[in-house]
């Protein structure tokens, strides 16, 4: 079945450090890929997405590139802030109209940015 | 600008009790979903609905029932709560089944079963 694997956290960084969170997937076919972010006490928010190979999603200084050859969608940010402290989830979707867009999530990576 | 609203936010139950979690969305979305979030396991789909009056099983449906009597509401029921159902429950909705349509999430319901 489809699955998403993320690096385990927590990841602890200092402000202005470079952040990378690895995400790899297994799936039959070509899913769309997403990163969601969950701030403390809140639900998940869509951070960025990519719908086909070599697409780059970007938002709020975060970037991720859909790499079909390595089945990866690693999240990066060049200079993190304390406000980026959150749990980050990698997810994939297959377009199955009759069944809705069913997300498959990774286990989440907690990121803690210290001042 | 409410989006997806879940009630209640917290609840503690005893084993064997029943309860219903309510999800309401004001975005006229066709698709709605219930997930549970457990440490290290991401979110797992319990049940989902592709329109008013329809429901379907997700990845972990056992012990739960759902109903979608109105387009804007999606109810998740636990008929006889078990400690294994202690979790954080998230509701989500999306405009359509297209993978370009992102899911919008509520803030979650933290449920503890003693």
Chain A nearest-CA distance from B43, in A, is 6
Chain B CB contacts of A106 under 8 Å are 42
| pLDDT number for residue B99 | 60
| pLDDT number for residue A1 | 72
Q: Residue B42's pLDDT band (boundaries 50, 70, 90)?
A: confident
Whether the CB-CB separation of B106 and B43 falls below 8 Å is answered with no
- The predicted-structure confidence for B100-112, as pLDDT tens digits, reads as follows 677 889 999 999 9
| pLDDT number for residue B33 | 92
Chain B nearest-CA distance from A94, in A, is 6
| pLDDT number for residue B27 | 93
pLDDT in tens, chain A (115 residues): 778 999 888 999 999 999 999 999 998 777 889 999 999 888 889 999 998 899 999 999 999 999 999 999 999 999 999 999 999 999 987 655 555 556 788 889 999 999 9
Those of residues 47-66 in B touching chain A at CB distance below 8 A are 48-50, 56, 58
3-class SS letters over chain A: CCEEEECCCCEEEECCCCEEECEEEECCCCCEEEEEEECCCCCEEEEEEECCCCCEEEECCEEEECECCCCECCEEECCCCHHHCEEEEEEEECCCHHHCCCEEECCCEEEEEEC
């Amino acid at each position: 079945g489809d699955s998403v694997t993320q690096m385990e956290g927590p990841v602890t960084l200092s402000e202005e450090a470079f952040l990378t969170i690895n995400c790899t997937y297994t799936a039959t076919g070509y899913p769309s890929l997403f990163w969601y972010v969950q701030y403390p006490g809140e639900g998940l928010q869509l951070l960025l997405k990519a719908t086909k190979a070599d697409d780059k999603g970007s938002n709020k200084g975060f970037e991720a590139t859909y790499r079909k050859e390595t089945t990866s969608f690693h999240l990066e940010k060049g200079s993190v802030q304390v406000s980026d402290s959150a749990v980050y989830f990698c997810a994939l979707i297959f377009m199955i109209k009759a069944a809705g867009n069913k997300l498959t999530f990774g286990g989440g990576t907690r990121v803690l940015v210290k001042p | 600008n409410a989006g997806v609203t879940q009630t209640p936010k917290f609840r503690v139950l005893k084993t064997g009790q029943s309860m219903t979690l309510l999800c309401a969305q004001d975005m006229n979305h066709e698709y709605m979903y219930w997930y549970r979030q457990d440490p290290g396991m991401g979110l797992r789909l319990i049940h989902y609905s592709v329109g008013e009056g329809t429901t379907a099983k997700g990845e972990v449906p056992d012990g739960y029932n759902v109903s979608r009597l109105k387009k804007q509401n999606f109810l998740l029921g636990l008929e006889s709560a078990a400690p294994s159902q202690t979790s954080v429950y998230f509701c989500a909705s999306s405009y359509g089944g297209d993978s370009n349509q992102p899911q919008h999430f509520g803030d979650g319901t933290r449920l503890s079963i003693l």
